[in-house]
């Protein structure tokens, strides 16, 4: 039996949707490849994160990875990931998130070992950063885009951004583990004696635009709104009809999703949001903001609602019952396209093609 090829993931942003993505993808790929994950712990990383991974996956902590720019730490992380690669001797290295992408594209030349990079949402698109910081991030992407590395975006919209920096780019849509999700759905009893709930899931931060979420809740005082999660901007959720769950374990968070009725996503930017795909599979009507990632998945008037302002959000939420066909279309999209089996198959082909010397 041929020895499995080794894949090394290098991941700094091990929290939120990226964490779910890494878990689901690695757990699928380990059936074909020998999987190694060099990771950093964030505040959002589950305390028992190791239990989420298949026991065959090798987990290696990068102790000097930090989210913020820190020259001493970044230099140490640079050499640390190089040492990890020397020890693992991978056949492919795949960098995940902007920090790993910036350091990794200079730590490795992409010649002896094929190199891939997935942004999971470009930092220069993050509107909570100053223009100066965003310009620096864009310059970094421009310079790094000249390295011998293939960028694999997680949505068509992100791919369009990637092509601004490199021609060596493709994309594979994010996907979710529908088998595990179905097990949870089958084992959860949904209470019928409850009010209708408009919900979202994620960190209460600038990216998720809690101010807009709050404005929509204020405009619909007779509806119950639920934010599954917590974060530094919790104080912006002042509407009396909003409930905040606080941080919960993933299984508990998904149970809250199942109890909800309308999924609302007011983000200022996205990669391709996992919570949106999960809500689509759970057959929840989806009402989302008009940004990259959201509009790559939700087509307005086809499988959900894409909105630009408060009045459009309110009208969409009020009209979900009149458009039940959107729910089935969204569900079928996940079953046919946005799931880990499809995602892993595409990555496997890309990896094996590059290992065998073929073009991606």
CA 117, CA 104: separation in Å to the nearest integer?
A: 9
| Residue 108 near residue 82, CB atoms below 8 Å | yes
The residues near 302 (Cβ < 8 Å, ≥ 6 apart) are 326, 329
pLDDT band of residue 359 (cuts 50, 70, 90) is low
Rounded CA separation 151/40 (Å): 21
- State how far the Cα of 7 lies from the Cα of 91, in Å rounded to an integer: 6
CATH topology of domain 178-336: Rossmann fold (3.40.50)
**What is the mean pLDDT of the segment spanning 166-183?**
92
State both tokens at 123.
């930092």
* Dihedral (Cα; 342, 41, 101, 33), 10-degree rounding: -40
- Summarised one tens digit per residue, pLDDT across range 308-354 is 999 999 999 999 999 999 999 999 999 999 999 999 999 999 999 99
Lowest mean pLDDT among 59-68, 187-196, 312-321: 187-196
Rounded distance between C-alpha atoms, residue 342 and residue 24, angstroms: 12
Domains 6-175+339-355 and 178-336 share a fold: yes
Domain boundaries, the chain: 6-175+339-355, 178-336
Evaluate whether 211 touches 193 at the Cβ level (below 8 Å): no
Output the CA torsion 144→172→10→75 (10° steps): 20
- Cross-strand partners of 286: 263
Q: What is the pLDDT of residues 1-26, one digit of tens each?
A: 568 999 999 998 887 788 989 999 99
What tens digit of pLDDT does each residue of 206-257 get?
Answer: 999 999 999 999 999 999 999 999 999 999 999 999 999 998 888 888 889 9
Residue 184: other Cβ atoms inside 10 A: 16
- List C-alpha distances in Å: 137 to 105, 142, 262: 14, 9, 35
Domain at 6-175+339-355, CATH from 1.10.8.10, 3.40.50.2000, 3.40.50.620, 3.20.20.140: 3.40.50.2000
Instruction: Show the DSSP H helices in 71-155 as ranges.
Output: 71-88, 98-107, 131-144
Instruction: State yes or no: pLDDT of 109 exceeds 80.
Output: yes
pLDDT > 70 in the chain, percent = 98
Instruction: Determine the distance from the C-alpha atom of residue 18 to the mean position of all C-alpha atoms in its chain, rounded to a whole number.
Output: 4
pLDDT (0 to 100) of residue 2? 66
pLDDT at 155 over 80: yes
User: d(Cα 259, Cα 237) in Å, to the nearest integer?
Assistant: 21
C-alpha triplet 240, 209, 224: angle, nearest 5°: 30
User: How buried is 222 (Cβ within 10 angstroms: 0-12 exposed, 13-18 middle, 19+ buried)?
Assistant: exposed
Q: Which pLDDT score is estimated for 210? A: 98
């Amino acid at each position: 039996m041929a020895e499995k090829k080794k894949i090394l993931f290098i991941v700094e942003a091990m929290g939120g949707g990226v964490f779910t993505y890494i878990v689901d993808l690695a757990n699928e790929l380990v059936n074909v490849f020998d999987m190694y994950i060099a990771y950093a712990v964030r505040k959002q990383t589950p305390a028992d994160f190791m239990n989420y991974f298949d026991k065959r996956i090798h987990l290696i902590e990068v102790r000097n990875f930090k989210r913020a720019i820190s020259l001493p730490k970044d230099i140490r992380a640079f050499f640390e990931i190089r040492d990890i690669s020397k020890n693992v001797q991978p056949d492919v290295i795949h960098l995940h998130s902007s920090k790993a992408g910036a350091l990794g594209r200079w730590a490795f030349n992409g010649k002896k070992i094929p190199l891939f990079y997935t942004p999971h949402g470009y930092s220069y698109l993050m509107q909570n950063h100053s223009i100066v910081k965003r310009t620096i991030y864009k310059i970094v992407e421009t310079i790094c885009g000249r390295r011998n590395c293939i960028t694999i975006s997680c949505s068509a919209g992100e791919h369009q951004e990637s092509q601004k920096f490199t021609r060596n780019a493709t994309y594979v849509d994010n996907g979710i583990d529908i088998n595990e999700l179905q097990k949870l759905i089958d084992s959860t009893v949904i209470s019928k004696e409850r009010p209708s709930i408009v919900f979202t899931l994620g960190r209460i931060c600038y990216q998720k635009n809690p101010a807009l979420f709050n404005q929509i809740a204020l405009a619909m005082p007779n509806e119950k709104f639920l934010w599954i999660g917590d974060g530094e901007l919790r104080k912006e959720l002042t509407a009396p009809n909003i409930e905040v769950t606080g941080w919960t374990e993933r299984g508990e968070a998904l149970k809250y999703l199942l109890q909800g009725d309308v999924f609302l996503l007011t983000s200022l930017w996205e990669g391709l949001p996992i919570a949106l795909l999960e809500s689509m599979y759970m057959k929840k009507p989806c009402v989302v903001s008009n940004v990259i990632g959201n509009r790559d998945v939700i087509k307005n008037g086809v499988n959900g609602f894409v909105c630009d302002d408060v009045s459009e959000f309110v009208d969409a939420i009020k009209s979900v019952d009149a458009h039940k066909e959107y729910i089935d279309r969204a569900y079928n999209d996940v079953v046919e396209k946005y799931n880990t089996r499809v995602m892993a198959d595409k990555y496997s082909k890309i990896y094996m093609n590059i290992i065998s010397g073929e073009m991606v």
